[in-house]
Structure 1
Amino acid sequence: MISEEINKARIALKSPSEAENLGGWAEALGFALFPSKSNTSPWSTYFGPMATSVDAEGNSHYHPDIGGTPAEVLDHWAMRATSLKHPVLRARYADLAWDLAYAIGRRRRDLIAARTAIDNYLESASERFRSERYHQYDAVDRALDLAIQIKDEGRIDAARVAYMTLHRQDMQQGGNLWWRAVDRLLDEKKANLTEDEQEELIRDLEALVNQSSDPSATKFDPYVTENAARRLIKVYSRGHRSADVRRLHEAVAKAYERFADAHPPMLAAALLQTSMDAYERAGLTEDSKRVRVEMQRQIGESKSDMKPITSEILIQNDDLEKFLTGVIDEDLGSTFAKLAIEFLPKRKILEADVKETAKEAPLMAHISQKIMSDDRVAAIIGSVKDDLFGRLFQQAKFSFSFSHIWLLAAFQRLAERHDVLPEHFVGWANRHGIFEDMGLLLQGVRAWFEGDYVKAVHVLVPQIEGGVRSIAGQLGKPVTKAHPKIKGASVAINMGDILYSDEIVKKLGDDVAFYLLALYADPRGLNLRNQLAHGQLRLTSINDHTARLLIHTLLVLGLWKEFAESFAQTQAQSVEEKL
């Protein structure tokens, strides 16, 4: 990096004068700062630190930091902007002097510095001075920003013309940065885009859609079709051109459908999802249904492409024994309570684990994931940044899986320490009277005792849903809703209705509500209730651990009021602290 080389030269100076030291620091700082349009600079400037670290006390440290930088550095940059000849360097120094005038020297910005920066950014936006096209666009983009900032109409026009020049070159050469001018100029009202220029950009987008959506053409690329169409749809939607909007959605749908033909089932299924959605937006319902059928077929065939991923986790006997000693008490009721609490995933801990995993595997944290069912995409989980809640389900599934050996050992020790019967579990689950009839509940627990896990799961899951519904009733929520087809009739609310209710979550608590949602009622989690209700729970998914998770739920239900009261107290304490 330039700043590193400058620092090496600065350090190599023998007995430098104060002026040399200051000049060396000004040069190193000027090239260590990182330009960014995302407004992430802690100083509210265009140039910011390359990195930020946080110490154990929570204090932020910037690298580099402009704190303590003498104002004379600004004078040094201004001098360099006028004394040098290379436009890239002149633009950099002038922009530094303009951008950081107040942050470093508490000075008013000098318009001459901004004008110098603009003019040199524009002069440098060619292969002669910036070999990479995206760097040329960056220079023009910054010039336009500065021109708009100082309200210089002449320089705004010059920057816009430079943008259009780069765009025309890209279109002629088949470059992949055609979107830069489109995104900036069509969306920037202050760029003074002329009607002719707007029409040119629209024509170019239409040309891209036509070229990239033709499977017989060498430039066939559904991703380009989609990206160009999306920008056109935005323009046409503003102009209420609904026919053109539908035409473009159809073009995207056909491009992805044709593209899927040439790919293996797993990728084809994902491509067809985009095609199906685009047909739906185009109002072509029958085509959407047709593609859905094909997508379901491809998903079914993709099963053979999937390979299991396993990992080994070693647990020391001493650690296991220490854990069991802590949760298995002499008192059965106390043991039930400890087991309920210990194996209840805590939402804050799940969030912390997700964020920590994102640090360790940043690439995976940015990639969205699709959860495949037998013949469909059951759910989509976005990136950690965009879909933290969705990632919690993924982490909860890992928690449920990881708890296998610990929960097994805990129940084995429970049986050794206490002479437990099915009636003990059923009685505990109904501590707060959420089951009017405990007959089926007892049958389900007895089936678990006898190792009949298929019966246990099929009996207990509906009973647990009924218990959750009863809790909703005790919390004052209606437990029925209007029948979707029969006027005047009602049906019982389901677990999803209950657990997606903000009102219920606020009363029941984040931990219990999310636990039940992840285990029973959300496709991003284990989704046991929905899988069972719709006949999609496979025999291979019903095992001893699945049944133990249900028994643990009964222990949680027996404490639901205590969990709710604890959550309410925590929330009240949080409010008091804020006040």
Structure 2
Amino acid sequence: MILLCDVNKIMLNDKIKKYLNNLDNNENLLQSFHGEYKIAEEIKNILKKEGESYKPSDEDIFEQIAFDFLAEYPNDNSGWGIYYGPMFILPNKQGQMVEYPSIQRVTETTLNYWENRAKETKNPILSSRYADLVVDFSPKVLSKSADHKLFQLVIDTCITICEKLIAELLDCKTKIKRALKLAIQINDEERIKRTKETIISLEEKIAEDGKAGLWGFAFEWLLLDFSNKVSITPQEKNGLINDLEKRLKRVKENPWSTECAVSLLAEYYSKEKDETNLMRVLEILEKSFKEDDRTNSDALLKIHAFEKIHEIYQKYRDKGFLEAKKAVDRISQEIGSLDLDWQKSLKRVSVATDIEKEKIDKFLDAIFGKEEQNELENILARIVINFLPKQADLKNQLEEISKNNPLQFLCNTQIISGDGIPIAKLSSLNDDYDNHFQNYASQYLQLSSSLLSLMIEELKKRISKDEIVEYFKGSFLLKNENGEYIRRAISAYWDNDYLVSSHLFIPLIESSIRELIRVCGGIILVPNSISGYDRFPLTALLKNQGDIIKVVFSQIGHDMPFYFRLVLTEKLGMNLRNNFAHGLEKNTFFYRETSDGC
């Protein structure tokens, strides 16, 4: 049963009632970007002024929350799977997550109230909001669809809003898109046609070349997103294409606007299998990026522009366009040949930390022994245990840092190699946790390198080079290695010739890992194509046989396969083995941090 709730007969606060009646008589009062949310704000202010003794009625709350729900709510875990969602979800004092407005406040009584308000109000913005809430929440709250006429009311009022431009321009876009979706949902051909015509008319009225958000939406919705749901005449179709092509010519000096136009045209020409026009508009975008003064003023901006071009061509290469494949190869070559001034684009960030000498001495005593020096094997084990990061600790640190600096982990992060090549782009922490973790662990190792250097210098003072050489020559994993090779590697390191020591250490480490896996019964050989066997490369060994290494080192409480990958084979780590093997980032091998890490 529908409850009658005329605004003048219900238990609504008189001041709220007066405010809403005023909106009915002057629809232009809502013509701002915040639109309906200003209504909720005004209602809250009215209730606040009533004082703590005033208890808001149900109707007061119905009006307030009606305009606090967020339209076009993101389709994620924090919403309810419908068009509207809460304004925010935040923890309370007890740490429990609380949403506002809560869907629990939306009951059959609430929906009845909104339905009657939708029918009685004269303001199309109010009517549209009330009716749309009923349309959206009814299946969720009542397990049934709203009255068909309410769908029609939302569509009709949205059309009126856009025809009169009584909402902010971007809000008009949102409302007419909602109208189109609802018209399609109820399969109302007449209203689909009217909405289509309003979309085209709206863009004609509000489009400005310099405001990319105000154009292209008619093309996007009618020729791409809903093309199989909306009938469009050849004249309308040609008009939309020609308008966007003309706009592209006008904005081609602006890479951002050019990208907005080309992204739509390229999708359309791709759908039509029109490779000639597809490549034409993509080349316009490429030229716009390459010739832009701002893009060319900074190495980071320039490499980002080339990456963007590369990604776009890849997209259409993957759809089977041969010319796009050629463009991908060409841009790849150009990226490798870019002359980039990273010194100008990047700034060095340094942090100084003071450590009391007493703490350093205490730390070294724990490693080497205080009154009596520890055995060499014990010293080396303590150095390893103290230097290697525990994954659990790193995860806790990363979680704490992300809480204290959330913006840092919401934006994309570009990772540049030491020789100026973009090797990775990390998205948000939630979407790309593993790569963020590797990157953080690598940074942790770099920051810890000074402490490791301190331990190594103390080791050199206390233990002779010959003792170290003999110790490693006697190691079980190195017993089959050439003794002179081991001596030269350690001697170069002892004499601070880090370039030589790194190049000798890395093959030695790889062969030791392979030997460890062999003696533990792991697989180190793989059949090749000439009826023989090849040794597994290090990357494959650490990936496929890592459990063996983990078991061997389980007593020290560290994930050694993770550390080996981080130092030797991971792009987001030090990647020493691959850089050494392929002649990459050669300058890093001059520094002691590289040899220390080995």
Q: CA deviation at 1:395?
A: 0.8
Residue 245 of structure 2 is matched in structure 1 by 206
Partner of 1:5: 42
Look up the match of 1:340: 384
Name 2:440's counterpart in structure 1. 395
Cα deviation 1:329-377 (Å, max 9, x = unaligned): 7565555445434433444554554454444334432133140543643
CA 31–294 in structure 1, closer or farther in 2 if over 3 Å, else same: closer
- Which deviations, in whole Å up to 9, do the C-alpha atoms of 1:296-320 show, x marking residues without a partner? 3421x34344331112334456766
- Asked if 1:101 corresponds to 2:141, the answer is no
Q: Which amino acid aligns with 2:230?
A: N
2:554 aligns to what? none
Is 1:46 paired with 2:83?
A: yes
Residue 274 of structure 2 aligns with an amino acid whose one-letter code is R
Secondary structure, in 3 states, of the residue corresponding to 1:231? helix
Amino acid at match of 1:296: S
Distance 1:199 1:488 in 2: 63
**For the structure 1 residues 79 and 263, does the alpha-carbon distance in structure 2 shift closer, same or farther, using more than 3 Å as the test?**
same
Aligned counterparts, 1:151-170, within 5 A: 151-170=187-206
What is the match of residue 271 of structure 2?
A: 238
**Runs of at least 5 residues in structure 2 that lack an aligned partner in the other structure:** 1-37, 318-322, 551-557
Given candidates 346, 361, 386, the residue that maps to 1:306 is 346
Residue 425 of structure 2 aligns to a residue whose secondary structure is: strand
Change (3 A) 1:386 1:170: farther
> For the structure 1 residues 450 and 24, does the alpha-carbon distance in structure 2 shift closer, same or farther, using more than 3 Å as the test?
same
Residue 182 (structure 1) aligns with? 219
Partner of 2:337: 296
SS of residue matched to 2:339: helix
Measured at CA, do residues 498 and 8 of structure 1 come closer, stay the same or move farther in structure 2, by a change above 3 Å? same
Residue identity opposite 1:309 in structure 2: V
| Cα distance change, pair 122–58 in 1 and its aligned pair in 2 (3 A) | same
- The corresponding residue for 2:17 is none
Partner of 1:558: none
The secondary structure found in structure 1 opposite 2:296 is coil
User: Residues 105 and 230 of structure 1: is their aligned pair in 2 closer, same or farther, counting only changes over 3 Å?
Assistant: closer
**Matched AA of 1:518:** L
Matches within 5 A, 1:3-402: 3-13=40-50, 21-40=57-76, 41-54=78-91, 59-67=96-104, 71-101=108-138, 103-104=140-141, 109-126=146-163, 128-131=165-168, 133-171=169-207, 175-177=211-213, 178-185=215-222, 186-189=224-227, 191-194=229-232, 196=234, 197-213=236-252, 220-259=253-292, 263-266=296-299, 267-275=301-309, 282=323, 292=333, 296-299=337-340, 301-315=341-355, 333=377, 336-347=380-391, 349-365=393-409, 366-374=411-419, 376-402=421-447
Secondary structure of the residue aligned to 2:89 is strand
TM-score after normalising by structure 2: 0.75
Residue 112 to residue 390, structure 1, CA distance change in 2 (3 Å):
same
Native 8 Å contact 2:66 2:133 kept in 1:
yes
Give, in angstroms, the shift of residue 140 of structure 1. 1.0
Q: How big is each residue's C-alpha offset from its partner over 1:151-203, in whole Å with a ceiling of 9 and x where there is no partner?
A: 33333333333222223335576641224333333122563242534444343
Contact 1:35 1:46 in 2 (8 A): yes
Unaligned runs of 5+ in 1: 214-219, 551-579
User: Hey, what's the Cα distance between the residues in 1 that align with 2:142 and 2:221?
Assistant: 32
Superimposed CA distance per residue, residues 119-172 of structure 1 (whole angstroms, 9 cap, x where no aligned partner): 2222212563113x2111111122223333333333333333322222333557
1:451 aligns with 2:496: yes
- Report if the CA contact (8 A) 1:465-1:495 is conserved: yes
Amino acid across the alignment from 2:114: W
What secondary structure is seen at the aligned counterpart in 1 of 2:162?
A: coil
Counterpart CA distance in 2 for 1:542 and 1:437 is 25
CA contact (8 A) 1:279 1:288 kept: no
Indicate if the aligned counterparts of 1:277 and 1:288 stay in contact, CA closer than 8 A. no
Residue 459 of structure 1, CA deviation:
0.7
Whole-Å separation in 1 of the counterparts to 2:400 and 2:456: 31
Q: Distance in 2 between matches of 1:411 and 1:57?
A: 49
C-alpha distance in structure 2 between counterparts of 1:287 and 1:42, whole Å = 39
* 3-state DSSP of counterpart to 1:403: helix
Identical-pair percentage:
23
Give the root-mean-square deviation of aligned CA atoms: 4.0
Partner of 1:564: none
DSSP 3-state at the match of 1:525: coil
The alpha-carbon deviation at position 276 of structure 1 amounts to 6.2
Deviations 1:500-529 (A, max 9, x none): x4x345665694344333322233322222
Q: In the superposition, relative to structure 1, how do residues 171 and 191 fare at CA in structure 2: closer, same or farther (>3 Å)?
A: farther
Cα pair 1:259 1:271 within 8 Å, conserved? no
Instruction: Decide which moves more: 366-375 or 166-175.
Output: 166-175
Q: Does 156-165 or 350-359 show the bigger shift?
A: 350-359
Find the counterpart in structure 1 of residue 538 from structure 2: 495
Counterpart pick for 1:426 among 472, 485, 495: 472
Question: 1:562 — aligned with what?
Answer: none
1:199-220, CA deviations, whole angstroms, 9 ceiling, x for partnerless residues? Answer: 443434433444444xxxxxx1
The question of whether the paired residues in 2 share the 8 Å contact of 1:426 and 1:438 is answered with no
Aligned with 1:369: secondary structure? strand
Deviation at 1:272, TM superposition (A): 4.0
Structure 1, residues 36-55: CA drift from partner, whole Å, max 9, x if none? Answer: 34223543332222222347
Indicate if the aligned counterparts of 1:269 and 1:296 stay in contact, CA closer than 8 A: no
- CA gap of 1:163–1:528, structure 2 versus 1, over 3 A, is same
Kindly provide the amino acid, as one letter, of the partner of residue 253 in structure 1: E
1:512–1:212 distance in 2 versus 1, CA, 3 Å: farther
Encode CA deviations 1:6-48: one digit per residue, 9 max, x unaligned: 2232244479898x61111112222222223422354333222
Of residues 80-89 and 142-151 in structure 1, the stretch that sits farther from structure 2 once superposed is 142-151
Aligned residue in 1 for 2:485: 440
Residues 116 and 538 (structure 1 numbering): CA distance in 2 closer, same or farther, change over 3 Å? same
Which position in structure 1 is the counterpart of 2:566? 518
Kept in 2: contact 1:81–1:90 (CA 8 A):
yes
Give the AA of the match of 2:472: V
> Is the contact between residue 148 and residue 156 of structure 1 (CA under 8 Å) also seen in structure 2?
yes
Q: Secondary structure at the match of 1:246?
A: helix
TM-score using structure 1 length: 0.77
Amino acid at match of 1:516: F
Query: Would you say how many aligned residue pairs link Structure 1 and Structure 2?
Result: 535
Bigger-Rg structure (1/2): 2
CA distance in 1, matches of 2:331, 2:397: 41
